Structure 1
Amino acid sequence: MIKYSHGKGDLENWLVSEEEFQPDTLGKSEAIMYLGNGYMGLRSATEEPYMKETRNLFVGGTFNKAGENEVTELPNIADVTRFDIRVDGDQFSLEFGKTKDYIKQLNLKTAELRRYFVWTSPRGKVLQFEFKRFVSLDNLHLISMKMFVKSLTEPVKISFDTGIDAQMNNSGSQHFLEGERRIFDKKDIQLVQTTNESKIDVVINSTHRITINDEQRIADPEMNMSRRKVWLTYDINLRPNDRLEVEKLTTVYTSRDKDLDITEYTTRQLREKSLNDARNCAMKGYDSLLHSHTEAWNNSIWNAYKLEINSDNPYDQLALRFSLYHLTIMAPAHDERMGIAAKGLSGEGYKGHSFWDTEIFILPFFIFSNPAVAKSLLTYRYNGLTGARKKARENGYSGAMFPWEAAWPSDGEVTPKLGDIDIVTGEQTKIWSGIIEQHISADIAFAIYQYFNVTADHEFMDHYGYEIIFDTASFWASRLEWDAGKQEYHINKVIGPDEYKEHVNNNAFTNYMAFFNLKLAIRYYEALMKENPRLIEVLNNKLDLKTAYPIWQSKAKKIYLPQPSEEDLVIPQDDTYLKLKEIDLTKYKNQEKLRTIYRDYNPEQINTLQVTKQADILLLFYLLNQTFLREDMQLSNAIKEANFYYYEPKTLHDSSLSLATHSILANDIGDADLAYSLFRKSTEVDLGPQMNTSDDGIHAASMGGIWKAAIFGFAGIRLVDGKLTINPKLPKQWHHMKFTIQWKGQPITLFLTKTTLSVKVENKKKIEFEIQDQIYACDDEINIEYENKNR
């Protein structure tokens, strides 16, 4: 069971804890307590092995195809965390003997994992164990571990194997060729792996330091080597109250590292560089390295974002810190050739691929909190333009059609063709998303629009942004289908955000977002013609904009946009949704495990029911309300409210992406209790007490959603067509809230209570913002009283 209240004093609401060892539910803490730094992610499996464990170490960008019939995925790199421990010759395991005072704990403040317990062996000897580890934010290549063992009662012989185990796989698929292995000076181990298809080298080094009672031991371990594995065996005798301490420091380097992209590369150089780094780290030791790592977290994350709330439920503060922690360790801030995977770097789920999750659910956090990372993630999409253009051509379209699942930028579309079982036929279901879930191209255009409006980064737009927006607009112009009878353009046979509806015509989200993409391209083209004709000339030579522009204009005027009905103001999700069969969804709305509807229906049957997987129409309201279409579409609060109460009861939230959007919209329409309830549910997707939610890895989009629900929902921060608006509606459980965002290149710190707002402009450059229809200007600090309009 996961516990939330162990932190006291300076660590209050900083600790995520597991109080009991449960060998059948190891995946939960392995995933939610995983360690990382954006370069690599290390799943938090226990040191000693168990049957149901999952040991994962991933390095971003190292994609590989295990076989011809496989799609590319992040390979599971060699394991360095396992210790095979023997006590008086017997294999150590918590499944035997007696355990007390067990605690496994992730300290979010220091990003360090700790496990402690007192264990009585089957022979009656009592030992105290403590394990610590972290993946450094200061040195992206470093994994640090420490093991303590103390005999509490009588003499005991401790033996353990420690090394590098490359006998790992991805759910059975092996990605690596047999590599070189070597041991230096009986303490430093090196292993080289090379992926079998993409030919990426991975060099791993582990170095060891053994002390007893704080005195370094000149150990003489047994050296061992077998296929894909190399290790040391130590045998140590402990007297009562003797304390054994083992430091194991590991460095991981790959030939895909960014600095090797621009220099002449040899495996020998990488081996020497990585080994020297490991040895230099060993000279500093675990505690010194932990200090540097902790300082990096304090300076770059906690002191930069300053997200604090005072809530009747302390869990809320912990949940927000949990989201910031995971958003940090999943983001490849070091390399614009890489995106964020749907599971971060915490597990094999979705094979390390990037989805629209990044642009719509994760990127907003970075746009408003760390624009440099946001820019890197959008540059990753620019680097994928070649693959997007190839996909468009292969499907008979023009422009850039971005892949539904993306890996290395040049890989193009990498969505698997087959998925889960069909409960009716017993066959694998076909995955249609890679072919007909096309809104991602407009989602990326929206993300660029949001980034530019918040940051005013003209350099990014000139080099990357405009080109993506123009080429995605050309895709939509070629994708539209003319309906001669209705004299309008349709978009048929698609999947919208609601993936329970396949091959639908005129999904409202897709049509509106395509329209937005076209109108955005028109606006930017016309603006650049006046303000930067030289850039237009360059882009015209590349994209033939003189031909494309009038096509965008003519087609945007005639695209079909589903309208609210006069009777109930509901916008149809697609052409047939409102005519589908309605069923009692109570048991699915109250489910403890997601997607239980598949136990009763197959995808074809679900397609005939008025049931929605995740936010679709409501997500459209949330996005368009931030744009220049806000007034054009007349998306009034009355229409928003009518659609919310129509679609929310039909939405199962069977995707972790969904709850935060509904929370924000509930807050917008003034339903404070429901907004808070949905926020809490979004925090529990991974952090909650259910022990089977995260076995395949954490839900990256949900982490972004937690932050969005707090900042865009309760604090009311919103971009509205280039303007900053602030309309706070704190829930009754929250007494005050403080956080820092970035706006137009400078940090802005806000402090909110239920009736007052303080805005501090850190760099004293004048900003303007709107609160409840009144404009304020500030170049220092301003205090404002406002009316809380929640009901």
Structure 2
Amino acid sequence: MMEYNQGTGEFENWIVSETGFSSDYLGKCEAIMSLGNGYMGMRSATEEPYIKEQRNWFVNGTFNKAQVNEVTELPNLADITRIDIRVDGERFSLEYGKTEEYVRQLNLKTAELSRSFEWISPKGKKLRFHFKRFVSLSNLHLTASKIEVESLSHQVAVSLDSGINAQMTNSGSQHFMEGERRVFDKQLIQLVQTTNESQVDVVINTTHDVKVNGEEVEVDPDMDMERRKVWLSYEFVLQPNDRLEVEKVTTVHTSRDWDAMEAEYDLQQLRESSLGNLKLHALQGYDSLFEAHQQVWKQQVWDVYDIQIDSNNSYDQLALRFALYHLTIMTPAHDVRMGIGAKGLSGEGYKGHSFWDTEVFILPFFIFSNPAVAKSLLTYRYLGLAGARAKARENGYSGAMYPWEMAWPTDGEVTPIWGDIDIVTGEQSRIWSGAIEQHISADIAFAVYQYTEVTKDEGFLDKYGYEMVFDTAKFWASRLEWNEQRGLFEITDVIGPDEYKEHVNNNAFTNYMAYFNLKLAMRYYEKLAKHKPELLGKLDVPMGLSTAYQEWQEKAEKLFLPEPGEKDGVIPQDDTYLQLEEIDLTKYKNQERVRTIYRDYNSGQINLLQVTKQADALILLYLLEQTFLRDDPRISADVKKASFHYYEPKTLHDSSLSLVTHAILANDIGEYSLAYSLFQKSAEIDLGPQMDTSDEGIHAASIGGIWKAAVFGFAGIRLIDGRLRIDPKLPKQWHRMKFHIKWQGHSLAIVITPTMLSVKADSEKSFEFEAGATIHKCKGSIEVPLS
């Protein structure tokens, strides 16, 4: 049903296709073919309705709590994609009649969704349908669609109902109060929604333009209005070979938009100005609006980000472009007050909340490709300090304890308390991550470090970064617990990245990352004391840094850090993991869907087994080797290799985040075939042929990880404590790789073949990097032979 080789000519390896329709598997294409621009995201449901469809339209940052006993989430806006079509008075559906030459495609290069087919009605009349849709990157508030219906055999009556339907929910929860609906001049439709708790106004405008055989026609549609819904009904009689074209142009604006926030906000003014904008856009027509959108994609995305792979498997090239496409449409590059949801803007999964996924799996792409966007995403975390400080106080700690799930910056912790059913007890399971999965505070500190080392953006550190690192270090210092028997501080009752192990003590990832956070804060304090004493004094007054610095010194050196085994070199995941019962995991390692272990065990039982969702000890080794701790023998290359071989057989990769880290480390330790296999599996989580993996939305972290596996893994790009290392190890299936990165003010074009590394800068300023244990200093360009 999914095909990946339909692109030809200039669109070769740019097209994702569905070549057979099934109303049982709608979620796949709705999610992976979703459209967006970072401001809004639109799930790609078909125009005609089906029972199992999921219509989602989100505007980033419009978070709302539907009920007092629910957590805040991105509300599902009114739908403008559904169009009820009737043929000779009967409802059109692909579940009836006969469908031929069906194809639905997402063109990654132009960011346009299209669908076409020929359909023979139950009465034997043959029609050709062609649908097109895009969400504009040139105008963040704009989306447009186009319908073409052609009669191929008989005279046929065709009618369309199209408008704005606010009878939408988030899995049953309604977020909006009843708003005003209007139709102006039987042509322009406007609907106003206001969230019931956060009081965010949403103004949606839409209009239609109708042509028959390329000529404008005057149509007097029926106007209809119901509760939370307003639409127009059009009726046509087509003769054989007549072609009906309907263009629909829609805009959305909210009271959370920057321009609305900066001015003296007035809803009536927003309604009037947005309606005026719609009129201007509609005059341009679909093709003109699409051309502007396509040009921005070329100039701002593909001319900047595209990775070119000469591979025996052309799917690899498509998968990387698929990742770049979704990284673009999910990211709110326009607004520092907004983050990236775990499902992007492609579905209701995880309620639009941001996790550590952003800092560890998505942010690196922007750090090395578009530092301005990376800075925006980190500024979002800075704005979240208020919520992080509140969470720390509520839990009896100091500093900033970042929420496990974050929504609007000041909302604080928004992780739900209850989750899935317990397969053994039948009760609702408690979600503990919001309370005890605490490593995110150190993850954010690491992201600050990675960003500033790669970009040398001292201004960010001065304005935001130092405060973030100091406050997270203060949290860790207050979080540590003294163990008299060990004579050391420890961290008990936590969850690490391996969420199959709850309420563990001294999780290696958490302890080492807390240690890194404390050490980084000390380094930054000493740096400011030496070079910027005035700034240090300014921060010291509200934060008590002089006292905190002494505490960081004392506690960092006495923090228990799990040591690799003397004999096997394996770093223990926590105090008890290596002593847990081992079982045969073959059944689960060969599973076709994730989390099948929950069919046999509940979370309490899984907690007592040597089975891993994702091996957090491996993620730890990958992260810390990029830092000033890289020479610590506890995280050496030998420990990495031993730990990989121990944990990989026990890891089910039930987290979509898991495969990419394992792929990178496998390549690092010389397991090249395994690395490529893991990369391919990661690329297939969303894009691949399995039809039910993405029903709740795409896996944003995994998509960021596809880029990481290629660039950090196979191309060997790595931050090494302030230096750039390029140590390529291409898969044997790849003959050439070309891409760009940003490094400390340079834009570097990198070309890799099995025998040569070529690096070319965009200026004659000197730069240096490490390759093959040699430091290369150069201007302009350099070629380095690869053995």
Report if TM-score (shorter chain) is over 0.5: yes
Residue identity matched to 2:219: A
Shift of 1:292: 0.5
Verify: 1:138 aligned to 2:144, yes or no: no
* Correspondences of 1:262-301 after superposition (within 5 Å): 262-301=262-301
Q: What is residue 175 of structure 1 aligned with on the other side?
A: 175
**For 1:303-330, what per-residue CA distance to the aligned partner results, in whole angstroms no more than 9, with x for missing partners?**
0123100000000000000000000000
Residues 355 and 405 in structure 1, CA contact (< 8 A), matched pair in contact too: yes
Shift of 1:636: 2.5
Verify: 1:367 aligned to 2:364, yes or no: no
Partner Cα separation in structure 1 for residue 132 and residue 278 of structure 2? 18
**For 1:363-410, what per-residue CA distance to the aligned partner results, in whole angstroms no more than 9, with x for missing partners?**
000000011110000000000000000000110100000000000000
**For 1:224-274, what per-residue CA distance to the aligned partner results, in whole angstroms no more than 9, with x for missing partners?**
111000000000111100010000000010000012222100111111121
**For 1:576-613, what per-residue CA distance to the aligned partner results, in whole angstroms no more than 9, with x for missing partners?**
00000000000111101110000000000000000000
Residue identity matched to 2:476: W
**For 1:208-232, what per-residue CA distance to the aligned partner results, in whole angstroms no more than 9, with x for missing partners?**
1000001001110001111000000
Q: What is residue 449 of structure 1 aligned with on the other side?
A: 449
Q: What is residue 99 of structure 2 aligned with on the other side?
A: 99
Q: What is residue 336 of structure 2 aligned with on the other side?
A: 336
Which range moved further: 254-263 or 61-70? 254-263
Residue identity matched to 2:285: G
**For 1:725-768, what per-residue CA distance to the aligned partner results, in whole angstroms no more than 9, with x for missing partners?**
00000000000000001111231110000110110101332111
Shift of 1:779: 1.9
Verify: 1:584 aligned to 2:574, yes or no: no
Aligned to 1:224, the other structure's residue is in SS state: strand
Aligned to 1:147, the other structure's residue is in SS state: strand
Partner Cα separation in structure 2 for residue 262 and residue 141 of structure 1? 17
Aligned to 2:635, the other structure's residue is in SS state: coil
Residues 308 and 737 in structure 1, CA contact (< 8 A), matched pair in contact too: yes
Partner Cα separation in structure 2 for residue 593 and residue 549 of structure 1? 48
Verify: 1:405 aligned to 2:367, yes or no: no
* Correspondences of 1:390-401 after superposition (within 5 Å): 390-401=390-401
Partner Cα separation in structure 2 for residue 142 and residue 356 of structure 1? 31
**For 1:134-192, what per-residue CA distance to the aligned partner results, in whole angstroms no more than 9, with x for missing partners?**
00000000011000000001111100100000000000000000001111111110000
Residue identity matched to 1:504: V
Partner Cα separation in structure 2 for residue 224 and residue 394 of structure 1? 51
Partner Cα separation in structure 2 for residue 542 and residue 38 of structure 1? 35
Partner Cα separation in structure 2 for residue 411 and residue 273 of structure 1? 30
Verify: 1:436 aligned to 2:436, yes or no: yes
Residues 170 and 348 in structure 1, CA contact (< 8 A), matched pair in contact too: yes
Aligned to 1:663, the other structure's residue is in SS state: helix
Verify: 1:192 aligned to 2:195, yes or no: no
RMSD of the alignment, in Å? 0.6
Structure 1 residue runs of 4+, over 3 Å off? none
**For 1:542-600, what per-residue CA distance to the aligned partner results, in whole angstroms no more than 9, with x for missing partners?**
21101100000000010011111111101110000000000000011110111000000
Residues 397 and 478 in structure 2, CA contact (< 8 A), matched pair in contact too: yes
Residue identity matched to 1:729: K
Residue identity matched to 1:642: A
Q: What is residue 489 of structure 2 aligned with on the other side?
A: 489
Partner Cα separation in structure 2 for residue 89 and residue 68 of structure 1? 45
Q: What is residue 621 of structure 1 aligned with on the other side?
A: 621
Partner Cα separation in structure 2 for residue 772 and residue 491 of structure 1? 39
Q: What is residue 738 of structure 1 aligned with on the other side?
A: 738
Q: What is residue 649 of structure 1 aligned with on the other side?
A: 649
* Correspondences of 1:216-365 after superposition (within 5 Å): 216-365=216-365
Partner Cα separation in structure 2 for residue 778 and residue 43 of structure 1? 47
Question: Normalising by the residue count of structure 2, what TM-score does the alignment of the two structures yield?
Answer: 1.00
Partner Cα separation in structure 1 for residue 152 and residue 766 of structure 2? 64
Residue identity matched to 1:592: E
Aligned to 1:285, the other structure's residue is in SS state: helix
Verify: 1:610 aligned to 2:610, yes or no: yes
Residues 615 and 661 in structure 1, CA contact (< 8 A), matched pair in contact too: no
Percent identity reads 68
Partner Cα separation in structure 1 for residue 615 and residue 216 of structure 2? 58
- Alignment gaps of 5+ in structure 2: none
Q: What is residue 22 of structure 1 aligned with on the other side?
A: 22
Shift of 1:635: 2.7
Aligned to 2:677, the other structure's residue is in SS state: helix
Partner Cα separation in structure 2 for residue 715 and residue 211 of structure 1? 51
Partner Cα separation in structure 2 for residue 272 and residue 625 of structure 1? 55
**For 1:507-538, what per-residue CA distance to the aligned partner results, in whole angstroms no more than 9, with x for missing partners?**
00000000000000000100110000011011
Residue identity matched to 2:548: A
Shift of 1:778: 2.0
Shift of 1:786: 1.6
Verify: 1:13 aligned to 2:16, yes or no: no
Residues 759 and 782 in structure 1, CA contact (< 8 A), matched pair in contact too: yes
Partner Cα separation in structure 1 for residue 732 and residue 111 of structure 2? 31
Partner Cα separation in structure 1 for residue 263 and residue 541 of structure 2? 32
Aligned to 1:163, the other structure's residue is in SS state: strand
Partner Cα separation in structure 1 for residue 386 and residue 321 of structure 2? 37
Residues 339 and 380 in structure 1, CA contact (< 8 A), matched pair in contact too: yes
Residue identity matched to 1:714: F
Partner Cα separation in structure 2 for residue 150 and residue 633 of structure 1? 71
Which range moved further: 352-361 or 257-266? 257-266
Q: What is residue 726 of structure 1 aligned with on the other side?
A: 726
Partner Cα separation in structure 2 for residue 784 and residue 178 of structure 1? 65
Aligned to 2:132, the other structure's residue is in SS state: strand
Q: What is residue 703 of structure 1 aligned with on the other side?
A: 703
Residues 38 and 60 in structure 2, CA contact (< 8 A), matched pair in contact too: yes
Q: What is residue 478 of structure 1 aligned with on the other side?
A: 478
Aligned to 2:510, the other structure's residue is in SS state: helix
Shift of 1:342: 0.1
**For 1:58-97, what per-residue CA distance to the aligned partner results, in whole angstroms no more than 9, with x for missing partners?**
0000000100111000000000011100001000000000
* Correspondences of 1:560-599 after superposition (within 5 Å): 560-599=560-599
Residues 63 and 407 in structure 1, CA contact (< 8 A), matched pair in contact too: yes
Partner Cα separation in structure 2 for residue 435 and residue 759 of structure 1? 46
Q: What is residue 752 of structure 1 aligned with on the other side?
A: 752
Residues 761 and 778 in structure 1, CA contact (< 8 A), matched pair in contact too: no
Question: Normalising by the residue count of structure 1, what TM-score does the alignment of the two structures yield?
Answer: 0.99
Q: What is residue 678 of structure 1 aligned with on the other side?
A: 678
Residue identity matched to 1:697: G
Shift of 1:634: 4.8
Verify: 1:153 aligned to 2:168, yes or no: no
Aligned to 2:686, the other structure's residue is in SS state: helix
Partner Cα separation in structure 2 for residue 732 and residue 377 of structure 1? 36
Q: What is residue 466 of structure 1 aligned with on the other side?
A: 466
Shift of 1:428: 0.5
Partner Cα separation in structure 2 for residue 21 and residue 320 of structure 1? 26
Q: What is residue 53 of structure 2 aligned with on the other side?
A: 53
Q: What is residue 510 of structure 1 aligned with on the other side?
A: 510
Residue identity matched to 1:211: K
Shift of 1:204: 0.3
Residues 136 and 293 in structure 1, CA contact (< 8 A), matched pair in contact too: yes
- Alignment gaps of 5+ in structure 1: none
Residue identity matched to 2:534: R
Aligned to 2:516, the other structure's residue is in SS state: helix
Aligned to 2:158, the other structure's residue is in SS state: strand
Verify: 1:668 aligned to 2:668, yes or no: yes
Residues 207 and 249 in structure 2, CA contact (< 8 A), matched pair in contact too: yes
Residues 306 and 324 in structure 2, CA contact (< 8 A), matched pair in contact too: no
Q: What is residue 635 of structure 1 aligned with on the other side?
A: 635
Partner Cα separation in structure 2 for residue 279 and residue 763 of structure 1? 45
Residue identity matched to 1:482: W
Residues 306 and 321 in structure 2, CA contact (< 8 A), matched pair in contact too: no
